[in-house]
Amino acid sequence: MVTFTIKQFKSILNVYKYIDSWFWAKYSVNGYNGCQFGCIYCDSRSAKYHLPADFENDIIVKDQPGAMLDQRLAHARTLRPDVVAMSGANDPYQPAEKKFENTLACAKVLAKHRYPVHICTKSPLVLRDVNVYQQIARDTWCAISVTITTQDTDVARFLEPRAPTPQQRLDTIRSIKQQAPEINSGVLLMPIIPELTDAVAQLDQLVAAAKDVGADYVIFSPGLTMRDVQADWFLKHLMRHYPNLMPRFEQLYKFDHRNPAYHGQYNPTGDYLLRISEQMLDICASHKMPYRIKRFLPRDERRLNYQIAEILLNKAYELQIQGKSWQDMHWAGIHLHEMKQSVDTLYAMGELNSLRNVTPIVEKEIVEVLGRIVKKTVIDEYKIR
């Protein structure tokens, strides 16, 4: 039986040190702790979240999150509107939301203060609030990403025992795009779980289905991450339902399941990650399906930096999944995003390489990107050393 405990919290808005380059979020807001959907792979079971391993039965409902968020944003002198992720260690549209409406309360406040929003969910309940998100999309930017790991209903029931069916989730994207095409909506194909959801035909079918419902993107993440309590929980269920798969997991994650606690790798082996990424890139290309989300671009002096940061971070992602060196490209994008000064000023002064992580290769990339964005006259003045 699920119990709900209403609890007061001291703060409601988390401010990230650096932007999240997958979901483009700078902030996060959660109306709940714990998640009724109870996915057996959920990373929220990891020790760092300090939640009970059976957190699907013990839901903490935050008291008055909308009012708290309103206060916080109304008095925020140093905060500027940027993407707020509504997800984290819970699904913002888990069944509790039907009754408590914490997510809706926060969404209305974010709409009022004109903050862009990214929702990650597995639930059609998000459709209840589509008007609020449509308004946010018109005013700033909004993305609703729906997680679908497989279309196989038996495997989905094993992995995500209390979540809506894969078809309900696909239908949710279709409805969002029909009702509010301004909202970015697509599939989070993550995690891709070895042996259970990683067959090429399965992945291809899922991307085709996403295309069919009008998804704007499919974001994928090869390989399940595994650590401490979460890994123990997942492997306990795997052993019960698919014991034949255990040797393959031991090989991919380098552990011995007979040990009492998990001591294997966080990610599967590199060759596995590369193979799945390569397959996904081919599949997305064959369906002309983007695998990154178009980011929020503010209509103020930050715009150019954000545009260039997006391109650098997308490039870094591609390098990473191809097993190439990506760190400088990534960190240059992150620092450029946070920079107060506009990049074209730095560029005109010939000082791009004073930015952290801007190596000659990254500098060349920035110059090329600027070349596509700013006036040609400025480019001609610039001399690459």
Asked if 91 is part of the footprint of ligand SF4 (rule: CB under 6 A), the reply reads yes
Asked if 33 is part of the footprint of ligand SF4 (rule: CB under 6 A), the reply reads no
By CB under 6 A, the residues from 42 to 71 that bind ligand SF4 are 42, 44
| Selected range binding ligand SF4 among 33-41, 263-271, 302-310, 329-337, rule: CB under 6 A | 33-41
Question: Could you give the count of Cα atoms lying within 13 Å of 360 in the half-sphere of its Cβ?
Answer: 3
In the complex, least distance from residue 66 CB atom to ligand SF4, rounded to whole angstroms: 21
| The pair of three-digit structure tokens given for residue 214, joined into one six-digit string | 């009008």
Q: Taking a C-beta distance cutoff of 8 angstroms, is the pair 332, 356 a contact?
A: yes
**Residues contacting ligand SF4: total by CB under 6 A:** 11
Asked if 206 is part of the footprint of ligand SF4 (rule: CB under 6 A), the reply reads no
In the complex, least distance from residue 13 CB atom to ligand SF4, rounded to whole angstroms: 19
Measured between alpha carbons, how far apart are the two ends of the chain, in Å?
A: 66
Q: Taking a C-beta distance cutoff of 8 angstroms, is the pair 208, 168 a contact?
A: no
Which residue from 23, 30, 38, 184 is in contact with ligand SF4, where contact means CB under 6 A?
A: 38
Rg (CA), the chain: 22
Strand partners, 191: none
Asked if 118 is part of the footprint of ligand SF4 (rule: CB under 6 A), the reply reads no
Q: Taking a C-beta distance cutoff of 8 angstroms, is the pair 35, 44 a contact?
A: yes
User: CA-CA distance, 374 to 304, in Å (whole number)?
Assistant: 9
Asked if 37 is part of the footprint of ligand SF4 (rule: CB under 6 A), the reply reads yes
**Residue 87 one-letter amino acid:** S
Residue with tokens 């300090």: 50
User: CA-CA distance, 53 to 57, in Å (whole number)?
Assistant: 10
Closer of 262 and 331 to ligand SF4 (Cβ):
262
| Selected range binding ligand SF4 among 8-16, 39-47, 335-343, 354-362, rule: CB under 6 A | 39-47
Asked if 39 is part of the footprint of ligand SF4 (rule: CB under 6 A), the reply reads yes
Closer of 160 and 365 to ligand SF4 (Cβ):
160
| The pair of three-digit structure tokens given for residue 209, joined into one six-digit string | 């289905």
Q: For the chain, what percentages of helix, strand and coil (3-state, to nearest 5) are there?
A: 50, 10, 40
Strand partners, 256: none
Handedness of CA 147, 153, 154, 157 (dihedral sign): positive
Asked if 35 is part of the footprint of ligand SF4 (rule: CB under 6 A), the reply reads yes
| Selected range binding ligand SF4 among 31-39, 104-112, 203-211, 368-376, rule: CB under 6 A | 31-39
Closer of 44 and 134 to ligand SF4 (Cβ):
44
Closer of 37 and 331 to ligand SF4 (Cβ):
37
Cα pseudo-dihedral 40, 124, 97, 113, rounded to 10: 120
Binding mask 128-167 for ligand SF4 (x = CB under 6 A): --------------------------------x--x----
The residue ranges that bind ligand SF4 (CB under 6 A) are: 35, 37-39, 42, 44, 90-91, 122, 160, 163
